């Protein structure tokens, strides 16, 4: 139970992305270099970078060794399976999954986590020798409809021998922190005791797993300064931090 199992072709890591595509994702946000972009565009670009990182970490010779399996669920009023099922990284590398993601209306987060739970319950038995699955949830605002907390708590109690299922939250908001983060490379991360400015941010903090040490080591190797005790929660105040969140999701140890 220490999140040390390495992802290999025979024991791939499973990452599920839950993307909020509500109408508010059309709002503009800081995209760096004085530019602004739509939130949804920042997210798709960060997710593409995470996929690229998975490809980077899966090469063996000139071949792509399928060390990752991925699902992408986009949600608003309803939940859409963007990839049409779980895909291995070599299959995903041949797709352009994020080209046609369109924003919709509401933010039914409970529905999204319900769909995630259903998939996990179907798949978990096949993952006994694999690294712990991870759900990376990205949202930009409070949920509509049912409270997702009980479902997320149930998910966080599911486990494989490597550890309890990991839940990461990327919360895109301009108001979550009292002070902006100047340099994401030097940022220590959100701790249990970090006070957030938004109630929903505090709720998401409760629904975020502690960052496993093996993931933290990988983040340190790539130049970040995340400190022990940090949670898998990112305040998406700018494109850099959104990107860091997606990079974190793919930091499973690999062979």
* Contact flag: residue 144 with other proteins (CB under 8 A): no
Return the residue of 34, 63, 199, 223 that touches other proteins, per CB under 8 A.
63
Sign for the pseudo-dihedral over CA of 135, 136, 138, 141: positive
User: CA 191, CA 195: separation in Å to the nearest integer?
Assistant: 9
Based on the shown chain and the rule CB under 8 A, indicate whether residue 55 belongs to the binding site for other proteins: yes
Q: Determine if 47 is a binding residue for other proteins (CB under 8 A).
A: no
Q: Is 60 among the residues that bind other proteins (CB under 8 A)? A: yes
Nearer to other proteins, 64 or 234 (CB): 64
- Cβ(166)–Cβ(116) below 8 Å: no
Min CB(73)–other proteins separation in Å: 21
Q: φ, ψ for residue 189 (rounded to 5)?
A: 105, 170
11 binds other proteins (CB under 8 A): yes
**Stretch of residues binding other proteins (CB under 8 A), selected from 13-21, 22-30, 55-63, 229-237:** 55-63
x/- track of binding to other proteins for residues 108-137 (CB under 8 A): ---------------------x--------
Q: Does 64 bind other proteins (CB under 8 A)?
A: yes
**Among 30, 47, 50, 57, interactor with other proteins by CB under 8 A:** 57
Which residues face 16 on adjacent strands? 71, 135
Could you tell me which stretch among 3-11, 73-81, 105-113, 182-190 binds other proteins (CB under 8 A)? 3-11
Q: What is the 3-state secondary structure (H, E, C) of 62-129?
A: CEECCCEEEEEEEECCCEEECCCCCEEHHHHCCCCCCCCCCCCCCCCHHHHHHHHHHHHHHHHHHHCC
Enumerate binding residues for other proteins (CB under 8 A).
6, 8-11, 51-52, 55-57, 59-65, 90, 93-94, 129, 255
């Amino acid at each position: 139970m220490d999140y040390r199992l390495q992802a290999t072709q025979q024991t791939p890591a499973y990452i599920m992305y839950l993307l909020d595509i509500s109408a508010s994702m059309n709002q503009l946000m800081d995209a760096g270099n004085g530019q602004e972009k739509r939130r949804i565009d920042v997210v798709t670009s960060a997710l593409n970078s995470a996929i690229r990182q998975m490809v980077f970490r899966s090469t063996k010779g000139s071949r792509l060794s399928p060390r990752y399996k991925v699902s992408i669920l986009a949600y608003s009023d309803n939940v859409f399976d963007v990839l049409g099922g779980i895909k291995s990284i070599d299959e995903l590398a041949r797709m352009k999954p994020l080209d046609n993601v369109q924003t919709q209306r509401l933010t039914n987060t409970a529905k999204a986590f319900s769909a995630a739970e259903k998939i996990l319950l179907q798949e978990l038995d096949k993952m006994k020798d694999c690294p712990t699955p991870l759900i990376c949830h990205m949202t930009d605002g409070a949920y509509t409809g049912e409270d997702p907390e009980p479902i997320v708590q149930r998910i966080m109690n599911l486990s494989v021998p490597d550890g309890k299922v990991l839940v990461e939250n990327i919360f895109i908001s301009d108001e979550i922190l009292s002070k902006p983060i100047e340099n994401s490379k030097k940022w220590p991360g959100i701790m249990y005791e970090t006070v957030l400015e938004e109630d929903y941010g505090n709720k998401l903090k409760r629904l975020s797993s502690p960052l496993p040490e093996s993931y933290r080591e990988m983040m340190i190797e790539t130049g970040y300064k995340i400190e022990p005790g940090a949670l898998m929660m990112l305040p998406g105040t700018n494109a850099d931090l959104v990107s860091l969140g997606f990079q974190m999701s793919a930091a499973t140890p690999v062979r």
